[in-house]
Structure 1
């Protein structure tokens, strides 16, 4: 019989002939002489069948078969031995414990060195276990070969032992190029060191790592970065010792890109939603410009400037704004500190002038964004003829910029500049779209502010022109008057006052308020004021005068309401008649007494069709002071009207009043906040015999 070394070689050949499954099972090795007598019995055979070597050595191998089985296979073995062929099959053996055991065997002849009868070498394994392993192997082979997931098997030195076709395609390298090499050697343009560190951790701890991201470029796509999801699992031998790593890879580049795009879309929507709430709510050009800069910096760009046409900043008509050149005033800039780039850009409030052909103004002239995706020496060359600022920005790390026009209602208002210095990439199409939407919102806010201020200024001019310019009261009457328009963020109303001379040395004091704001309210106020002057010359009683004003409002194309208080007094006698239509009651400050409100019936406002108005008669002591006012003096957000009226009378009682002008200024200082929500008209009269 051949030597043991030759027999060990046959073991390897047998494993290959059995499809590789023998290597995964305990294999019984039995050798017989040419007549079938057992001459070798290894430990695996003893474990499998329960017989020790001393129990089987010298016995015929057929004695181990189940008593009731067909002995045909045994005869075929000897025939194979005679013909020098191998044979495979399934037999039922008799276990030492007395139960049948199905075995898969492979028998091959061992040629005698003298060319005599052949001995047999028999390998046997549990048939059920063999079938299970063969099934698992088939599944693994199918999965390994056909799976779209990249699969690689690596040894404990992290060198590739095997890769499947999917991984070959991902890496752009054949299996032969992988075998025996490490990831860091194969793919230097991915984060291979990080991957190998993760695999070493799996080898050491036995804990798998899932969904670790591999990023970079491979020979399969050398022109584009890709992203893979990698998972690593340790492979162990039956004793639990690590023998390698199984790595699986899934290309998630498109999914990752879709997720990034979706997240970017959510951020854009959130930014636009915030812009709709923050930008342009104040009706102030400067504030709107700064709101755009503050909102965009850090979320779209690293530095932002907002410039409007100089004519618009001055409050003039915008005109074309571009003829011969462009003058822009910087009204917004962010961040205001902490950036070297901001130090190069002109400060807020500075007026910048550019020739018409300068690249900076192309966004204005073309009414579309002017984008420099990658700022370099070539890109700044055209602008270098006009200013050195682009070169200084380039030196400070600005790598991408864009100028987006501020256009609203087909009117060019200015331009917003966006600059990037950070690690983020150049401005792309999505960035330009987002910047354009932000600029459009800001432009509408700036234009609304422009139109509002123009309307406000027009209404204020009209309002002031219709108020009495010179008041000449009759003897015995001293007056002081004030008009305080609403702040710039509130529309001008229709408040007015007047003092008229009446026959017999009497005087008429009137104060009114047209409900509404803007030019329309100021125009109606002027109409009522003129009507009162004409009607007062007819010396109509207060109720009749109010009815005539009611008729004047009825003639308007659109219904309007107004409040009014009309007072007629005779300085010689102190007699006084008062009527009011929805207006706050006058205050009276008699000598030596506390101020009080006159108890006068509150008839409805003018314009509601009230047929009758009442008159209250009273006699004033010499030196009495009447205070007439509009509701802007006593109304304040968050304050009760009764509390404000009490504050008015209290202030009148406490305020020193050597002069009526001083009294008027003291009332406004005490009762009116820095920014009034509504117009205020104030008329103060002192009555004493001439």
Structure 2
């Protein structure tokens, strides 16, 4: 029991008179040698001495002349040594008659003066025995009642709990005393309970049928419900001295409601998984999304491993033969916890022999669960790794492995570890994990198929681009091609440099609308057509009409933007035609960059609109820059601002065209490119003309 000792010893008014009904309690404080330093009104009323007559005197002077003084000294020595004492002594009333007292003494450090203060509570022994007799009914109820009963102090800390409540909570009384509900029962809605109790302490109005829900140490594997009522305890003057709680287990009545709530939680988790798993076609991100979802409500640690062949683009066979190589692509939490640090990190390739549990789960295509993990249960896995024993030491008590299967193909597995005191994995948990794994497996397989198509399209795209740019008299050329990142599909961007008769050069750049292998194939067809038509010396606008006809021959209509330029390096004359393509940029020898005013036209494949050729003359040393929209288009950015940034970058001196192209890509493209980028720069030699 704690009290504001310095306030008591220093003279603050704290009158315990009338506490516990008719029982008058005296509060006295002494220093370590028994000298009285505080004497309250209750002490004066009990023994008759005013404060001025006793403060500064040894407390032993107040004992009956016939009392054993050595007993008093022994009691005080025990109290001073840190042992609270309870005893019955005979004191001498100021009026001259003996008075039997019950005393409770305990030491408390004195903050301001140092040393130890002994705080003494004293009460008339006869009256105390009478009150204890009258409280027998309450004690009987407290001990024998099937209702859980708890008594709290004004700070909402446990003072007493009966046997029924100890059984409900699965904890002995000494595990409750002095602690709050949040500390004793973290797996229930303890914060809400304390809020309701605090309201009762403040207002004095009882709260009836407040619902406590959650799990206790007596039954950590199941949710339970209790009906709670709270009543404030008051002294005769109406001052709050504590609170009583009464609890009844109503789980049986609420079971249907709990099952419905659990079902809603499972449904909510599945719905959340449908939104948060598979947000991209990136294999690593999809695996991590599964780990993040599962670790929230199902487990304390989750890993997601996929077959190594998925990450390398290899084929997946119909079954598993021999050992298994898995790549860890998902882990939650990634690090920082004792369990997570034991598990292999992201990106690690794990090799499992044919007899290992991981391999067996993939071969059997069934969830493997160990509800209660112990040394015997981990023995098969412990032969291959020290991790199972380490996990057991860190409190992992339940374990589950769920295969990832999509379209009849085994892709990998998810592993779930539980260490929190909420009981082992149940059949419902296995069912929920299976739903999450099935949903994630489809997304993983989509990512696998996309990655394979992305790789095929990229190979096709690169093979159709010009493999060698010829040396051109009077002209220097640099070019770049940057494919979309792995999380975005390859498009149909291309460029070409074609030597023509009479020393002329054709520069072509285009972008087939769409993505994937289909767009790359159409790009190859248009690129081949441009190379063939350019050598026929067609006017630029006629060449574009022929390309449009080629698009019309396709089974599925497609559109493409295109820009075609014929340059005569001898005199700098250029004939430029564009079909819905971004405008070219010319950089004059003095470093000034400008967008060329060329009618935009409409994309190839729209049809019905004539194309216009614009004639431009470039000075020797000028640079002409052609590009696809991936260079200047960005989400959330204005296209005019991006074009202005492009011209600004081109006005900064660059020793070579290659360095100029690299500068544009570095400053204008993000780390993850959303679209392909083709870039072509040509400089007319200053010596020409």
Give the Cα separation in 2 of the matches to 1:623 and 1:452: 45
The alpha carbon displacement at 1:321 in A equals 6.3
1:512 offset after TM fit, Å?
Answer: 0.7
**Which one of 264, 267, 290 corresponds to residue 265 of structure 2?**
267
- Please report how far the alpha carbon of residue 187 of structure 1 lies from its aligned counterpart in structure 2 after TM superposition: 10
Counterpart CA distance in 2 for 1:185 and 1:505 is 104
Question: Residue in 1 aligned with 2:417?
Answer: 419
Matched, 1:554 2:535: no
Instruction: Show the counterpart of 1:242.
Output: none
Partner of 1:156 in structure 2?
137
Residue 648 of structure 1 corresponds to which residue in structure 2? 646
Measured at CA, do residues 687 and 433 of structure 1 come closer, stay the same or move farther in structure 2, by a change above 3 Å?
A: same
Structure 1 360/633 Cα, relative in aligned 2: closer, same or farther at 3 Å?
Answer: closer
1:398 to 2:372 alignment:
no
Instruction: Tell me the residue number matched to 1:608.
Output: 606
1:621-636 map, 5 Å: 621-636=619-634
Q: CA deviation at 1:298?
A: 4.3
Report deviation, 1:185: 7.9
Structure-2 separation of matches of 1:630 and 1:206: 75
SS in 2 for 1:382: helix
Any idea what the Cα deviations from partners look like across 1:83-132, whole Å, max 9, x if unmatched? xxxxxxxxxxxxxxxxxxxxxxxxxxxxxxxxxxxxxxxxxxxxxxxxxx
Q: How does 1:467-546 map to 2 (within 5 A)?
A: 467-546=465-544
**Higher CA-based Rg:** 1
CA contact (8 A) 1:190 1:214 kept: no
Distance 2:441 2:326 in 1: 15
Distance across 2 between alignment mates of 1:522 and 1:637: 24
Relative to the length of structure 2, the TM-score reads 0.66
Q: Is the 8 A contact 2:223 2:258 kept in 1?
A: no
8 Å contact from structure 1 (residues 495, 681) kept in 2: yes
CA shift at 1:386, angstroms?
3.7
One of 317, 320, 323 as aligned partner of 1:319: 317
1:278-427 equivalences in 2 (<5 Å)? 278-320=276-318, 322-427=320-425
The separation in 1 between residues aligned to 2:581 and 2:426, in whole angstroms, is: 61
For residue 316 of structure 1, report the CA deviation from its aligned partner: 2.3
Which whole-Å CA distance do the structure 2 matches of 1:624 and 1:556 have between them? Answer: 39
Deviations 1:137-158 (A, max 9, x none): xxxxxxxxxxxxxxxxx97244
Deviations 1:220-266 (A, max 9, x none): xxxx99866477999xxxxxxxxxxxx99976222333333233233
Q: Secondary structure at the match of 1:361?
A: helix
SS in 2 for 1:379: helix
Measured on the aligned residues, the alpha-carbon RMSD in Å equals: 3.9
Distance (Å, rounded) in 2 between the aligned partners of 1:159 and 1:570: 111
The alpha-carbon deviation at position 453 of structure 1 amounts to: 1.5
Which whole-Å CA distance do the structure 2 matches of 1:281 and 1:231 have between them? 47
Distance of 1:249 and 1:623 partners within structure 2: 91
Secondary structure of the residue aligned to 2:654 is coil
The offset of 1:401, in angstroms, is 0.6
From the superposition, tell whether residues 461 and 226 of structure 1 become closer, same or farther in structure 2 (CA, over 3 Å). Answer: closer
User: Aligned residue for 2:662?
Assistant: 665
SS at match of 1:277: helix
Equivalent position to 2:562, from 556, 564, 571 = 564
Query: 1:586 aligns to what?
Result: 584
Instruction: Note the C-alpha offset of 1:458.
Output: 0.9
1:213 Cα deviation after fit:
8.2
- 1:649 and 1:232 map into 2 onto residues whose CA distance is 75
Q: How high is the TM-score relative to the length of structure 1?
A: 0.66
Deviates more, 1:471-480 or 1:421-430: 471-480
Structure-2 separation of matches of 1:624 and 1:215: 78
Deviations 1:52-84 (A, max 9, x none): xxxxxxxxxxxxxxxxxxxxxxxxxxxxxxxxx
Structure 1's 667 and 231: CA in aligned 2 closer, same or farther, altered over 3 A?
closer
Residue 549 of structure 1: how far off its partner (Å):
0.5
Specify the SS of the correspondent of 1:540: coil
Indicate the residue corresponding to 1:243 in structure 2: none
Query: 1:459 aligned to 454, 457, 460, which one?
Result: 457
* Shift in CA distance, 338/515, structure 1 to aligned 2, threshold 3 Å: closer
Match of 1:254 in 2: 252
Q: Give the Å deviation of 1:186.
A: 9.2
Q: Is the 8 A contact 2:509 2:562 kept in 1?
A: yes
The 1:404–1:686 alpha-carbon spacing in structure 2 relative to 1, beyond 3 Å, is same
> How many Å apart are 1:473 and its aligned residue?
4.5
How many angstroms does 1:385 deviate by?
4.0
CA contact (8 A) 2:484 2:676 kept: yes
Structure 1 pair 474–259 and aligned structure 2 pair: CA distance change class (3 A): same
1:438 corresponds, among 424, 430, 436, to: 436
Are the equivalent residues in 1 in contact too, given 2:208–2:230 (CA < 8 A)?
yes
CA distance in 1, matches of 2:398, 2:289: 22
* Inter-partner Cα distance in structure 1 for 2:491 and 2:481: 11
Secondary structure (helix, strand or coil) at the match of 1:401 reads strand
TM-superposition CA deviations, 1:442-464 (whole Å, max 9, x none) = 22222222222211111111111
Tell me the SS of whatever aligns to 2:297. coil
CA 1:345–1:185: 2 relative to 1, 3 Å: closer
Q: Secondary structure at the match of 2:682?
A: strand
Paired residue total: 504
The structural deviation recorded for 1:595 is: 1.4
1:283 CA displacement: 2.4
For 1:334 and 1:388, the matched residues in 2 are separated by 20
- Distance (Å, rounded) in 2 between the aligned partners of 1:456 and 1:193: 63
Higher mean C-alpha deviation, range 656-665 or range 498-507? 656-665
Deviations 1:540-587 (A, max 9, x none): 111111111010000000000011111112222322211111111211
Contact 2:319 2:363 in 1 (8 A): no
Secondary structure of 2:645's aligned partner: helix
Partner in structure 2 of residue 681 of structure 1? 678
Is the 1:292–1:438 Cα contact (8 Å) retained in structure 2? Answer: yes
2:372 aligned counterpart, secondary structure: coil
Deviation at 1:390, TM superposition (A): 2.7
Residue 226 of structure 2 contacts residue 249 of structure 2 at CA under 8 Å; is this kept in 1?
yes
State whether residues 478 and 661 of structure 2, in contact with CA within 8 Å, keep that contact through their aligned partners in structure 1: yes
1:462-487 superposed Cα distances (whole Å, 9 cap, x missing partner): 11100001111431121111111112
User: In structure 1, how many angstroms separate the alpha carbons of the residues matched to 2:421 and 2:360?
Assistant: 27
CA contact (8 A) 1:473 1:499 kept: no
Deviation at 1:324, TM superposition (A): 0.6
CA pair 558-260 structure 1, distance change in 2 beyond 3 A: same
